[in-house]
Amino acid sequence: MLALLRRFPFTSALIAVLVAVFGVEIAQSEPSFWLLGHGQLPDIAVVGVVWAPAIADGELWRIVTAGFLHAGLLHLALNVYALSIIGTAAEARLGPWRTAVIFFAAMIGGNIAAMYFQQDSASLGASGGVMGLAGSVVVRVYRSGEGFSGSQWVLSAIVMTLAFGFINPGISNSAHIGGLLTGALVALPMGAGTPGAARRVGPSRAPSAPRRGPGGRPFGREPVNKRQEEFQRRIDEAVRKAAEERAREQSEQP
């Protein structure tokens, strides 16, 4: 745990904050909300979620605070799990400060998108920021010349998250898309000088052999590991269950 904190300080601190805020939600709500995401909102969520009429009245803090709130234990668990993979991937490539800038920019961008495109519903959750970090990893991998062979799971996570949002009307895909685009745009000028960035080699200078880490693996390439595979499996399972639930509801309608 201490090794994770030293290597990924921003991601570790962010996960701790999200869990702490959810602890407040638990203290202020019934089990129907903090377990299942149903029922009356706790006080902290009432004043913190994205709600277009309230923001129009001057409650601008909501576009920030909503990113730290979650509707139910599963909602929190999915975002924390995604952060543990996507957040660490972004932080390994961009460092903690750039990762923090991208996350907060994407979170705000996603919440603004939700405010404009879903004015009749509330929105909350860190997934806009997480999608922004995924977008930053894609930009970083492309610009550095690292290649996508070791980051296909990020692309899969983006596709499956958006697909799940389109299938389930209760998911704020506006926040996902807004966060993804914001994170990618903010990451564009951050390619140069980042850890492991590719350098141009002139015709009179041959490229040196890549530095290698433990086990002879080149630095800058992260192979798909069991945690990433499990993340992909859970996304696939969630999409499948949402599709089955939607089909069942449609078959029950007269």
Measured at the CA of 188, the angle between CA 172 and CA 94, to 5 degrees, comes to: 90
Q: Comparing C-alpha atoms, which of 35, 34, 57 is closest to residue 47?
A: 57
Measured between alpha carbons, how far is 98 from 147 in angstroms, rounded to an integer? 21
Measured between alpha carbons, how far is 191 from 53 in angstroms, rounded to an integer? 38
The CA distances from residue 140 to 8, 81, 196, 221, in Å, are: 17, 21, 10, 12
Do 76 and 22 contact (CB within 8 A), yes or no? Answer: yes
Identify the sign of the CA torsion 116, 121, 124, 128. Answer: negative
Measured between alpha carbons, how far is 87 from 99 in angstroms, rounded to an integer? 8
Do 110 and 161 contact (CB within 8 A), yes or no? Answer: no
By annotation, the residues acting in catalysis are 127, 176
